[in-house]
Amino acid sequence: MRIFVDTSGFFALLDRDDADHKKARKIWSDVLNPENTLITSNYVIVESFALIQHHLGLEAVRGFHEDMLPLINIEWIDAGTHKSAVSALLAASKRRLSLVDCVSFETMRTLGIKTVFAFDPHFVELGFKCIP
């Protein structure tokens, strides 16, 4: 199965103080098997770096980069996907919806991915299946 990984999944996995940390660790061990392909976007990586660095520090970013990212296939966002995501963001007119979220939705639709490792309710609102 192909599974998209969102910033909220990465962060819950890395932050021991996150309310979803224990759940995230269990999920991570379940999805890390040869039957699954884990995918994220370069936008999610940039967002994750910023969040991890701000809250957990540069060593946590280094661990994320060296230990987790090699397990993930990175989808590099092109100008067309970016433009579609900006249009979706502006049309949605929701303050808590981010450009990175909209890029993720566009990427998942384009790649035919229906499942996401995320703790962000926006994915469910748009019809994707969240793990958990």
CATH code at 52?
3.40.50.1010
- Pair of tokens at residue 129: 């299946």
Strand order in the sheet with 115-117: 73-75, 37-41, 2-5, 115-117, 129-131
* E strand residue ranges, 2-132: 2-5, 37-41, 73-75, 115-117, 129-131
| Model pTM above 0.85 | yes
Residue environment code for 8-41, b if the CB has 16+ CB neighbours within 10 A, otherwise e: bbbbbbbbeebebeeebeebbeebeeeeeebbbb
Q: How many domains does the chain have?
A: 1
What is the pLDDT at residue 67?
A: 95
What is the pLDDT at residue 94?
A: 80
Full domain range(s) for residue 25: 2-131
What parts of the chain have a pLDDT lower than 70? Answer: none
Phi, then psi, of 101 in degrees rounded to 5: -55, -50
What is the pLDDT at residue 132?
A: 74
